[in-house]
Amino acid sequence: MVYSIHDSTEAAIQKMIDASQRILAVQSQVQGQAKDGWGINAVMKKHLELEIRTLKCTKRCRKVQAAVRSKAKTKGRSYAH
């Protein structure tokens, strides 16, 4: 995976999610065929699934934090986290 320095954090997170989902998609296509070294083991599959879930949560949390900061600014409060 290659990330541009100019990518926003959200774009980089989305690229990581997409890459993990592509790996899982390829795995599901290979599963019924003779593997000969292809595919991933159950531990790696679980890792990728958890990584996707975590990254999606990270995106959502960042949006919530940004909204809270924005609302605090409009009310004249400081929000440091």
- Segment 26-78, tens digit of pLDDT: 877 766 554 555 667 889 999 999 999 998 888 778 777 777 777 777 776 65
Its pTM stands at 0.60
User: Where is mean pLDDT largest: 3-12, 16-25, 70-79?
Assistant: 16-25
CA 51 from chain centre, in angstroms, equals 6
* Residue 24 CB partners (closer than 8 Å, separation 6+): 45, 48, 49, 52
Euclidean distance between CA atoms 51 and 45, whole angstroms: 10
Closest listed residue to residue 40, CA positions, set 16, 20, 55 = 20
52 within 8 A of 20, measured Cβ to Cβ: yes
Euclidean distance between CA atoms 11 and 81, whole angstroms: 22
Instruction: State residue 26's pLDDT score.
Output: 83
The pLDDT of residue 13 is above 50: yes
